[in-house]
Amino acid sequence: MNVSASLTPFNSPTQESLPMILETLPDPAIASKGCPRRTRLQIDLILLAIEALELGGSEAILTFAQELDLKGIIKDRVNLWRMRSSNPLRRAHIRRPLTIMEAKALVVIACYIARRLTVVIRQLLMIYQQMDEKQIPLEQNLRLSNYLERFRAHFKSRMNARRSGVLALTSDAKLDELAINLLGQLLFCTGTAGMQRFWISLFDGEVE
């Protein structure tokens, strides 16, 4: 009797079992199966902005993984931490690839959370624009100040200050600018075909 053994790793989702939602994001035309450096960095930063927007942001990521049938990819908190630690700027950077499938799952979740926070994101960007035009210090608005303060705290505690990319962001003003830019990216994700357009933008200049 012939017995065939499957070569699919245990607990790894097969192509047939992948959630259909991931199929809405096209596979980038890159040689490697792993994501480029800039892609890994941008995905982690967009999730960092989500965590700064609302308390329990990391729990929301895991909750959406469950609701969107992505638990086969993002299994638990440790698994999520390992994916995000593929960001080379992290203190606890892990030299592991972030697969295209993992990146798709994180982007889908980020975009779904962004949609839920659309009103908040729009309000913060409007407040920023008004204060910037009138040259009013940003810390004078409590809501915006709280978001910026949390983002700075998250960034400083998780990123390696000795990395060149982090050295360019040592001032609070630079971090505030980054935090505002990320709000704009999150709002972009909520628009028509926003998830697909954001996904494609992560590979600009990387495709062959």
What residue segments make up the domains of the chain, in order of their start?
A: 32-193
Cα(49)–Cα(45) distance, rounded to whole angstroms? 6
- What pLDDT score was predicted for residue 10? 37
Element (H, E) at 47: helix 37-53
Residue 17: the pLDDT is 60
**Tens place of pLDDT for every residue, the chain, 208 residues?**
343 333 334 344 444 466 788 888 988 877 567 899 999 999 999 999 999 998 877 888 999 999 999 999 999 999 999 999 999 889 877 788 899 999 999 999 999 999 999 999 999 999 999 999 999 999 999 999 999 999 999 999 999 877 766 666 778 889 999 999 999 999 999 988 999 999 999 998 654 4
Q: What are the residues whose beta carbons fall under 8 Å from the beta carbon of 96, sequence distance 6 or more?
A: 82, 85, 86
- At what angle are helices 118-133 and 100-116 packed, to 10 degrees? 70
**Whole-angstrom Cα distance, residue 70 to residue 99?**
14
Q: Which of 96, 76, 89, 79 is nearest to 43 (CA)?
A: 89
